[in-house]
Amino acid sequence: MTTETTGAQSPRRGATAAPDEVARFTAMADGWWDPAGKFRPLHQLNPPRIAFIRDQVAAHLGRDPLAPRPLGGLSVLDIGCGGGLLCEPMARLGARVTGIDAGDRNIQVAAAHAAQQGLDIDYRHQLPEDLATMGDTHDVVLNMEVIEHVADVDAFMAASAALVRPGGVMVLSTLNRTLKALALAKVGAEYVLRWLPPGTHDWRKFVRPSEMAAALRPHGLEVRALRGLVYNPFEDSWSLSRDLDVNYLAFAVKR
């Protein structure tokens, strides 16, 4: 219910990154790896997110998701990687991982933590449209809790799609633009439960699944799977669900 796309320097004019979003998280960059801190929701979301990525990619490629390194040999790009909360698990699953972010402080924090863990991850302070101009492509592109924070969804989707090789996949997660999401993900999470700093999200920028599919389709990507993420207050945990009303994940394949 938060983002992994922010950092320290304002992006150039016309970039997909929104300057206010980049600035908002600058002060929090040092807290990425504190599971009880401001990024606690992402730490809690990570197990079902990782399971969805692993299982969908493995099924698409005919691999065993429970193998020790089911993503072995695959190139994974995490757009808006933040402090590396997804990059590190992807590396442990066997992937060659690149993480990019609009904030240079995020990249510094991510690189330092990966070095402490002995993980070889290629972190770059870079925007997806810049990487796309270099002709870089990957087997798996991750867009997790990013879309609702960018300046231009269509431009961002176009740049991200260009980074998926033919036959490759994109995994996305974001917030649905429903009244239920307004009540739970915006008002509840920010002002009642205080999970997130007030102002973290703008409900008007939430993206419906149909809008996501429509934005991907012109770039050769077809959504093949949708799953919701729901919170259990009694267990204080998140799990995958068929309920797409608030948080949801999508798996798309490039023709």
* Residue type, position 168, single letter: G
Bridge-based pairing of strands 96-101 and 122-125 is parallel
Expressed as residue numbers, the domain containing 186 is 19-254
Confidence class for position 239, pLDDT limits 50, 70, 90: very high
Does residue 246 sit within a domain? yes
How far is Cα 146 from Cα 149, in angstroms, rounded to an integer? Answer: 6
pLDDT band at 126 (very low <50, low <70, confident <90, very high): very high
**Residue 160 within a domain:** yes
Percent of the chain's residues with pLDDT above 70: 86
β-sheet with 247-254: strand ranges across: 122-125, 96-101, 75-79, 138-144, 164-175, 247-254, 221-232, 237-241
- What is the count of structural domains for the chain? 1
- CA distances in angstroms from 179 to 56, 155, 198, 203, 210, listed in the order given: 29, 26, 18, 9, 16
Strand spans (E) along the chain: 75-79, 96-101, 122-125, 138-144, 164-175, 221-232, 237-241, 247-254
Is the pLDDT at 215 greater than 90? The verdict is yes
> Is 240 among the domain residues?
yes
Q: Give the pLDDT confidence score for residue 233 in this predicted structure.
A: 85
Please count the other Cβ atoms lying within 10 Å of the Cβ belonging to residue 14: 9
State the average pLDDT over residues 219-239. Answer: 95
Summarised one tens digit per residue, pLDDT across range 6-55 is: 333 444 444 787 776 666 666 788 999 999 988 888 999 999 999 999 99
Q: What is the pTM for the complete model shown?
A: 0.89
CA 76 – CA 136 distance, rounded (Å): 12
Q: Does some domain include residue 230?
A: yes
Q: Is 148 helix (H, G, I), strand (E, B) or coil?
A: helix
Q: What is the Cα–Cα distance from 145 to 160, expressed in whole angstroms? A: 14
Q: Does residue 49 sit within a domain?
A: yes
Say which CATH number the domain at 134 has. 3.40.50.150
Residues 114, 99: Cα–Cα separation, whole Å: 11
Alpha-carbon dihedral sign for residues 47, 21, 195, 247 = negative
Task: Find the largest Cα–Cα distance for the chain.
Answer: 48
Residue 4, in any domain of the structure: no
36 in Cβ contact with 42 (< 8 Å):
no
Q: What is the pLDDT averaged over residues 221-248?
A: 95
Higher pLDDT, 204 or 140: 140
Residue 142 within any structural domain of the chain: yes
Is residue 13 in a domain?
no
40 half-sphere exposure, CB direction, 13 A CA radius: 11
Q: What pLDDT, on the 0 to 100 scale, is given for residue 5?
A: 40
Supply the pLDDT for residue 188: 67
